[in-house]
Amino acid sequence: MVPVQAAHLAALGNRGVFVGGTTGECYSFSTDERAALLRAWGPAARKTGLKFVGHVGHNSLPDAHHLVEASVAAGADAIAAMAPNFFKPHDVDALTDWCVRVAAPAPEMPFYFYDIPGFTGVALDTAEAVRRLAERLPSFAGVKFTNPDTDLFARCIEAGSGLNLLFGVDEMLLSGLERGSPGAVGSSYNYAAPLYLKIIKAFEKGDLETARAWQTRAALMIEVIAAHGYGPAAKAVMALAGVDCGPTRPPQRTLPPEKLTTLRAELEALEFWDEVFVTRVE
């Protein structure tokens, strides 16, 4: 399925893939399964021309190192790691130290900090973390900022001159662009990238009215999907788009057929299904 998904993502207009993140249910996979997934994405990304970022975040440092090594072996373009979420770093120094330790096996590989406090429970000053990581980690490349705090994101942009600070809250993409983000990483780009490309194109042309209109549509789409439980429903939408990524793993529950039918009807009622899923794989 990885080659099919890679072709689908490229056809939708995506330029990269973030492998094994939140929507990829990373913490529901064993470390060996995650390493196998990274290895599978290497040739698929190269064939489709997608940039490939391997997520290596883990609560165990040796396991994180195993995933770093798998990413390197797979030919990843970069690695990324979210903060550990059981024994959490309680200050920026501890978080910086953790990231430096995670990245150690691949000192030349660009490293991104994956900031997602809603899941990790680690809500530190990301802007200060950007400054510290820039000082201590030569391979530090940027942040995947999945945090609705756009004021904090603006401070990250200010602190991280020359870094690649990617916005990760899909329903707020326009806010991230307005704050200076050069790009984005998000779950709904798996199936609705054309919608977001409309936002980006309008923003780049200075047509904020159109950009806001499309952003409103994106937020409504996500609201509909999230009402069914975002993770399982997002996987169901991928199947509707022609890329069946399989069931979700416990404790998440796969969407039953009757709810899938309801979800599809709700999305079609938004009247932009064909615009969003124009390159659907049959």
Q: What is the rounded CA–CA span in Å between residue 239 and residue 178?
A: 33
- Residue 242 has a pLDDT of 87
Q: Which of 99, 98, 148, 140 is nearest to 123 (CA)?
A: 148
Residues with Cβ < 8 Å from 246, sequence gap 6 or more?
1, 235
Residues with Cβ < 8 Å from 71, sequence gap 6 or more?
38, 54, 56, 79, 106, 109
Whole-number Cα distances in Å, 101 to 95, 229, 263: 10, 35, 43
Domain ranges of the chain: 1-186, 193-282
What percent of the chain clears pLDDT 70, i.e. is strictly above it? 96
Name the active-site residue from 112, 144, 189, 235.
Answer: 144
Tell me the average pLDDT across 94-105.
98
- Residue 281 has a pLDDT of 39
191 tagged catalytic: no
Tell me the average pLDDT across 223-233.
94
Residues with Cβ < 8 Å from 7, sequence gap 6 or more?
48, 281
With contact defined as beta carbons under 8 Å apart, do 167 and 173 qualify?
yes
With contact defined as beta carbons under 8 Å apart, do 198 and 209 qualify?
no
- Residue 279 has a pLDDT of 45
Name the active-site residue from 27, 51, 112, 114.
Answer: 114
- Residue 278 has a pLDDT of 45
Average pLDDT of the residues of the chain? 94
Tell me the average pLDDT across 45-71.
98
Tokens 């999305």 belong to 267
pLDDT surpassing 90 at residue 78: yes
Q: Which two tokens stand for residue 209?
A: 């009215």
pLDDT surpassing 60 at residue 35: yes
Burial of 209 (0-12, 13-18, 19+ CB in 10 A): exposed
- Residue 271 has a pLDDT of 76
Alpha carbons within 13 A on the beta-carbon side of 58: 21
Tell me the average pLDDT across 213-229.
94
- Residue 119 has a pLDDT of 96
Q: Strand, helix or coil at 45?
A: helix
Residues with Cβ < 8 Å from 210, sequence gap 6 or more?
198, 202
Name the residue with higher pLDDT: 277 or 150: 150
Tell me the average pLDDT across 189-207.
95
Q: Model confidence at 274, in pLDDT bands (50, 70, 90)?
A: low
- Residue 277 has a pLDDT of 56
Q: Would you tell me the crossing angle of helices 230-240 and 208-226 to the nearest 10 degrees?
A: 110
The CA-based angle 141-142-144, given to 5 degrees, is 135
- Residue 202 has a pLDDT of 97
With contact defined as beta carbons under 8 Å apart, do 57 and 102 qualify?
yes
* 142-127-22-255 Cα dihedral, nearest 10 degrees: -130
Q: Which tens digits make up the pLDDT trace of 235-255?
A: 999 988 889 998 999 999 999
pTM: 0.94
- Residue 228 has a pLDDT of 95
Topology at the third CATH level for domain 1-186: TIM Barrel (3.20.20)
114 tagged catalytic: yes
Q: Which tens digits make up the pLDDT trace of 160-181?
A: 989 999 999 999 999 999 999 9
